[in-house]
Amino acid sequence: MEKIMPPSSIENLRRANQIRLFLPFFLFLFVLFYETWEHILILGELKFDIHWTSEILFFGILGPAAVFGVLTYIIRLLSGQMDVSTELEVLNRTLEQKVNERTETLAERNADLALANEELKALDRLKSDFVSLVSHELRGPLTTLNGGLELALQDSSQIPAKSRRILDVMAQESQRLTNFVQTILDVSRLDAGILELNPGPVAVEPMLQRAADLVFASVKREIKWELPKEIPPIWADEIYMEKVVCNLLSNADKYSPPEAPIEIKVKMEGENLSILVTDYGPGIPTQMQDKIFKRFLRLESGDRVETQGWGLGLYFAKALTEAQDGKLSLQSPLDSNGEVKGSMFTINVPIAKEVPEDA
């Protein structure tokens, strides 16, 4: 590394070297003159004796030599300090240059990341718009198809048994596809922030009963209810909160044995109300519990059985709950020891506050 000293440091070092050379010489001349003058004044004549010689040697030679050595040592220290200061200054300048280069590089990378982020957002919006458009366009033909199948099955006595079974299957699959399209449309609107929610006081027990009747209309399943005598209304959108409960009940029905009961429980916790849906299926592995609320993720390995579905139920339930100032959480297994298998989903939502009569 090249050392570049500032001009002021070089000038000071040059003056110090001059002082180191001239000061001992001046001291020698001063001592020589003084000792010679002192001997002439005392003795009246110049006599080169042992006293004069020893004083000249000690004060005129050894003294200036010592001064020369001390000054030499000091100059070396100063020179070393200047070298260190120069190196530090060079390093500081190099560091500043590197920091500036890195800052410029980071700024360029941040700009590239920001651009990439905007492109990803635009792509996500385009994807959402496309899915929404396709879902919207599918609703019309599916509505017509469902209506036609419903009319065809109204007078099923005149239809052969084989054809009737085919029409029943078509009607079920068409309705399942309709539900899927509606779910996709709702998810797209929710992700885009344009899903219209109409919150208000919701009676909890009738809502839970409707959801259970809807999910278990064609399924024999034991339901265990644990409801308080008086349940205050919650503040939510009744239609979409019922969808949240339906998704959790449907999920519990899919992933638990037919003979195992499903529990529906309501608890009050301060200004909030909790709806607990519990199944006694195989449960959800701990490492997967943070992932099951993601879109299109389904657990079908291990003890969990193969079921129909799209992996949107839990994602939609969580997103809808949070959109209504609520919280959806999971506990699996059902005890701290891990002995009781199963899953318990808890919907925590605010209780509706009383509205003054004159409001």
- Give Cβ neighbours of residue 35 (< 8 Å, ≥ 6 apart): 52, 55, 56, 59, 60
Number of other CB atoms surrounding residue 189 within 10 Å: 15
Residue 47 lies in a domain: yes
In this structure, the answer to whether residues 221 and 343 fall within a common structural domain is: yes
Q: How far is CA 73 from its chain centroid?
A: 60
Question: 48 or 198, which is more confident?
Answer: 198
Q: What is the pLDDT of residues 224-269, one digit of tens each?
A: 999 998 999 999 999 999 999 999 998 898 888 889 999 999 999 8
What pLDDT, on a 0 to 100 scale, did the predictor assign at position 44?
62
Tell me if 115 is assigned to some domain: no
In this structure, the answer to whether residues 25 and 72 fall within a common structural domain is: yes
Read off the CATH number of the domain in which 142 is found: 1.10.287
Give me the number of domains the chain comprises.
3
Mean pLDDT over 53-80 rounds to 78
Residue 1, in any domain of the structure: no
Q: Token pair for residue 8?
A: 């002021």
pLDDT of residue 272: 92
Question: If you average pLDDT over residues 322-340, what whole number do you get?
Answer: 87
> pTM above 0.85?
no
Residue 327 in this model has a pLDDT that exceeds 80: yes
Q: What is the distance, to the nearest Å, from the Cα of residue 121 to the centroid of all Cα atoms in its chain? A: 18
Of 203 and 69, more confident:
203
Instruction: Note down the domain range covering 169.
Output: 128-192
329 occurs within a structural domain? yes
| Inside any domain, residue 23 | yes
Is the CB of residue 291 less than 8 Å from the CB of residue 297?
yes
In a domain, 356, yes or no: no
Cis status of the peptide bond prior to 350, with omega within 30 of 0 = no
Tell me, what's the pLDDT at 148? Answer: 79
Give the pLDDT band (50/70/90) at residue 58: confident
Are residues 329 and 229 part of one domain? yes
Do both 214 and 245 map to the same domain?
Answer: yes
Tell me: do 296 and 221 sit in the same domain: yes
296 band by pLDDT with thresholds 50, 70 and 90: low
d(CA 334, CA 345): 10
Q: What is the pLDDT of residues 171-212, one digit of tens each?
A: 877 877 777 777 777 777 777 777 788 899 999 999 999 999
User: How far apart, in whole angstroms, are the C-alpha atoms of residue 318 and residue 187?
Assistant: 11
- Distance in angstroms (rounded) separating the CA atoms of residues 174 and 282: 31
Please compute the mean of the pLDDT values over residues 62-90 and round it to a whole number: 79
Residue 104 lies in a domain: yes
CA 238 to centroid of chain Cα atoms:
33
Which pLDDT band, with edges at 50, 70 and 90, does 47 fall under? low
CATH number at residue 260: 3.30.565.10
Does residue 86 sit in the same domain as residue 216?
A: no
Residues 238 and 278 reside in one and the same domain:
yes
CB atoms within 10 A of CB 215: 21
Q: Give the per-residue pLDDT at 194.
A: 75
Q: Which residues of 166-186 are buried (b: 16+ CB within 10 A; e: fewer)?
A: ebeebbeebeeebebbebbbb
CA distance 245 to 320: 11
- Whether residue 339 lies inside any domain: the answer is yes
Structural Rg of the chain based on CA atoms: 46
Mean per-residue pLDDT over the chain, rounded: 80
| Mean pLDDT for the stretch of residues 289-310 | 62
Domain boundary among 166, 192, 218: 192
